[in-house]
Amino acid sequence: MKNIVKTCTVLLFVITAGAMMIPSFTDSAGAQQCFLEICKSAPGAGETGFTILIDDGGMISVVELFDGGDCFTESFFSTDDFEVTEEPAEGWVLQDVICDPNPGFSISNIQGGIDADCITSAEASTTCTFVNGPAASNIPTLSEWGMISAAVGLALIGVFFAVRRKRIRAV
């Protein structure tokens, strides 16, 4: 009887361990593969790198792209949803994300990037270009120029009265 219990315990252990080693297939086993090409356009950026974050809901991939048509292709299944965003780069601002039209994709703009869903039953691919431009420098507005002019004017009036007082005392 002890041998039977021992044998059953070992057999149960082997079956459980074997079941854990069998690869599991997700929902994407029958889904079609989609390809999203992410490109960068930032005229005048030179060697400035732009960090792109690709979030598939479980893992975040980080890619650095440079101006001049630098691209990266991400593949995923039609059951997946991707958020592609750009981290702000000093001196540059994301102006637009331009995606090629493709009926196999549903792409919507989000803060700092796009949300891409592959909605086709066949293989599909599209390209999205992240377009950056130089950030606006701080140029004084009209009201700031007015304050500067008023300060200069008051300083000149103060100098005028100081010189006048000095002349009156000298006489």
Q: Which pLDDT score, from 0 to 100, does residue 140 have?
A: 67
The predicted-structure confidence for 101-151, as pLDDT tens digits, reads as follows: 888 888 888 999 998 888 877 788 889 999 999 888 776 676 777 888 888
Does the pLDDT value for residue 61 go beyond 80? yes
- pLDDT bin (cut points 50, 70, 90) of residue 51 is very high
pTM for this model (two decimals):
0.61
Count other C-beta atoms under 10 Å from residue 126's C-beta: 18
Least reliable range by pLDDT among 4-13, 34-43, 154-163: 4-13
Asked whether the beta carbons of 107 and 128 are under 8 A apart, the reply is yes
What share of the chain in percent tops pLDDT 70? 78
**pLDDT of 35 strictly over 50:** yes
82 pLDDT band, cuts 50/70/90, is confident
**Is the confidence at residue 20, as pLDDT, over 60?**
no
